[in-house]
Amino acid sequence: MYDVIIIGGGPAGLNAAMLLGRSRRKVIVFDSGEPRNRWSQSMNGFLSSDGVNPREFIQKGRAELAKYNIELADIKVESATYSKGEFVVNDEHGKVYRSRKLLLATGLKDTLPELEGVEEMYGKSVHHCPYCDGWENRDKAIAVYGPERKGVGQALAMKNWSDNVTLYTDGTDSLRQLDLELLERNEVKVVKEKITRLEGEDGMLQHIVLGNGEKRPQQALFFSLGTKQQSPLGEELGCEFTSKGVIKTRRQQHSNIPGLFVAGDAARDMQMVVVAAAEGAKAGVAINMELQEEDRK
Ligand SMILES: Cc1cc2nc3c(=O)[nH]c(=O)nc-3n(C[C@H](O)[C@H](O)[C@H](O)COP(=O)(O)OP(=O)(O)OC[C@H]3O[C@@H](n4cnc5c(N)ncnc54)[C@H](O)[C@@H]3O)c2cc1C
């Protein structure tokens, strides 16, 4: 019987494990090895670790946990149930684990534009988060991908980082007159032609090739097409979700299920490494305080 099972060994899960380990709790962290930023070479915006390789960041975190009573299991969890104050977790090999508390830190996955060439450029010159990658692309020729009206907000936001911003609606024509006027006033170019493919070298975008054969020089592409939960476990456990598909959390990362906490991208709030780690720390403390209260004589 573990005090706490943590599902997800990204920044949220590992930081929660650290606080719980330091509180002398018996903890196991399951991780299937697919962190959201695995496409990226540099993790930006984390004080003291700005620009660090995300894999090295995680390895360093795992090494720091070695002195605590924490098991790291590089195994996928297939199911998790809650009954009468106990969580029962099954791993992908059918092994069963039990705990008093459960932390879901399973993260999100991004919906990528369906464009030829996008996968090899994702995390290098194709990005979704301006706060993570805007600085590195300052003053470049920035494309924003947004069919229908999905790119208007991001195209306007990208003017913060470059004067040279073009919104591509990829063969759709749903922009309203007000959108077009706003974009024009803010000197955002609009291209409505269908995109055939992205062209570049070593993951670095050079051109967006259009259906009419035109090749438009671009150095970076940003998009915002939404996210999905990486794991169905939150839904299976009966968690409440927001309309944006993240799990609703209350004070200190509590979910609507007693003893079940959620931290990081899977939970409601800003999606960045530093925030995920902070939520993990909050959950770790809150879980320990709940255990303390339950054990008090
Ligand atoms: C391309 C890209 C670049 C980014 N760049 C930055 C940046 O520069 N700065 C920044 O602050 N943020 C950046 N982000 C966002 C950042 O990746 C997330 O905010 C952060 O990873 C969230 O941490 P997390 O612990 O919640 O989830 P994750 O890091 O996604 O970790 C979740 C972990 O849970 C595991 N898991 C899921 N389901 C299961 C299961 N059933 N069983 C076992 N394990 C499971 C996964 O394998 C994964 O390892 C970037 C994201 C992307 C996509």
Query: Which pTM does this prediction carry?
Result: 0.97
Tell whether ligand 1 has an atom less than 6 A from the beta carbon of residue 15: no
- What is the Cα–Cα distance from 241 to 229, expressed in whole angstroms? 10
Give the rounded distance of the alpha carbon of 262 from its chain centre: 14
> How confident is the prediction along the chain (297 residues), in pLDDT tens digits per residue?
999 999 999 999 999 999 999 999 999 999 999 999 999 999 999 999 999 999 999 999 999 999 999 999 999 999 999 988 899 999 999 999 999 999 999 999 999 999 999 999 999 999 999 999 999 999 999 999 999 999 999 999 999 999 999 999 999 999 999 999 999 999 999 999 999 999 999 999 999 999 999 999 999 999 999 999 999 999 999 999 999 999 999 999 999 999 999 999 999 989 999 999 999 999 999 999 999 999 999
Q: Whose CA is nearest to atom 35 of ligand 1?
A: 8
Q: Tell which one of 43, 55, 106, 222 to mutate to probe ligand 1, the residue whose CB is within 8 A of the most ligand atoms.
A: 106
153 in Cβ contact with 145 (< 8 Å):
no
- What is the Cα–Cα distance from 160 to 158, expressed in whole angstroms? 5
**What is the model's pLDDT at position 214?**
97
Q: Whose CA is nearest to atom 46 of ligand 1?
A: 34
- What is the Cα–Cα distance from 159 to 8, expressed in whole angstroms? 35
Q: Whose CA is nearest to atom 48 of ligand 1?
A: 35
Tell whether ligand 1 has an atom less than 6 A from the beta carbon of residue 273: yes
Query: Which residue, 222, 169, 165, is CA-closest to 194?
Result: 169
- What is the Cα–Cα distance from 259 to 197, expressed in whole angstroms? 48
Tell whether ligand 1 has an atom less than 6 A from the beta carbon of residue 234: no
| CATH classification number, 118-223, choose in 3.40.920.10, 3.50.50.60, 3.30.420.40, 1.10.287.610 | 3.50.50.60
**What ranges do the domains of the chain cover?**
2-110+226-295, 118-223
- DSSP state letters, 88-118: EEEETTS-EEEEEEEEE---EEE-----BTH
Tell whether ligand 1 has an atom less than 6 A from the beta carbon of residue 31: yes
- 2-110+226-295 CATH: 3.50.50.60
**What is the model's pLDDT at position 131?**
97
Other C-beta atoms lying within 10 Å of the C-beta of residue 6: 33
